[in-house]
Amino acid sequence: MIYNRTIFTIWLGVAVLTFSVMTGCKKEPQPAQANDSNQNTQQQPVEPNTTVKPAIPQIIAPPKLTLNEIIKRRKTWNPVYTRWYGKEAPDFTVTDLNGKKHTLSEYRGKNVMLIFWATWCGPCIAEIPHLIELRKQIGEDKLVMLGISCIDPRNTTEAVRKFVTANPVINYPVTSTDEATMPGPYNSINSIPSSFFIAPDGKIKLATEGMIPFPQMKAIIEADSINSPHAEQ
């Protein structure tokens, strides 16, 4: 897939107004892999030096919803990898840009959100202010957030480091990772941003494709898992 090289300016008002159409960037074509995700709208690329606006308008999160209710109300993202729901999240270890190692299984007992993104992806960059707000709203003792940026010709480790350095408002760890070293289903992502929400018991609660606004991120984390006895079936 070839993208025109234009600069995607991240103005907060634009990000909010375009939620209904920003549903993800297709990654570069890869060898055929089993993937049960849905196709999303293509977006134009972003230069690595794009500046992220640190704040989003104050939005009051809705009352606690079931996971199925949240899914039904979505507009900018889709649930994907549904066959993994309720299954233990495959373990992996990655090293962030500050040299700290993160092993998924070590975060058992906490909610975990894995965010797959790239520096050239407009919806990924537009989602960052919402991730920053999520980090502010939910402490590290309850939620682990990990931004995983898979290496490709336009998304080198140098490009990721340059982007994060230029945007010190990013308040969660970011890694630059070779996708081939990751286990499934993380190694078969073909559209970004994509996120995996992992419950404290280490099982995958939900996987998504497309940009998620902050209130829905928070609602997903607070909702019971679909396989929970308290969740709507």
User: Could you give all domains of the chain from N- to C-terminal order, each with its CATH number?
Assistant: 12-26+36-222 (3.40.30.10)
Residues paired with residue 209 on neighbouring β-strands, in sequence order: 78, 194
Residue 168 CB-density burial (10 A; 0-12 exposed, 13-18 middle, 19+ buried): exposed
Q: Which pLDDT does position 55 carry in this prediction?
A: 58
Query: Rounded to whole angstroms, how far apart are CA atoms 91 and 129?
Result: 28
CA distances to 12, 86, 209 from 168, rounded to whole Å, are: 17, 35, 26
Tokens coding 51? 């500046």
pLDDT digits over 154-188, tens only? Answer: 999 999 999 999 999 999 999 999 999 999 999 99
Residue whose entry in the numeric block shows the structure tokens 């996708």: 179
Q: Which amino acid does the sequence have at 70?
A: I
Please tell me the total number of residues recorded for the chain in this structure.
233
Q: Which pLDDT does position 44 carry in this prediction?
A: 52
**Model pTM score:** 0.77
Cα–Cα–Cα angle for 155, 104, 231, rounded to 5 degrees: 110
Alpha helices by DSSP H, the chain: 12-17, 67-72, 122-137, 157-166, 214-222
pLDDT digits over 69-100, tens only? Answer: 999 999 999 999 999 999 999 999 999 999 99
pLDDT digits over 103-155, tens only? Answer: 999 999 999 999 999 999 999 999 999 999 999 999 999 999 999 999 999 99
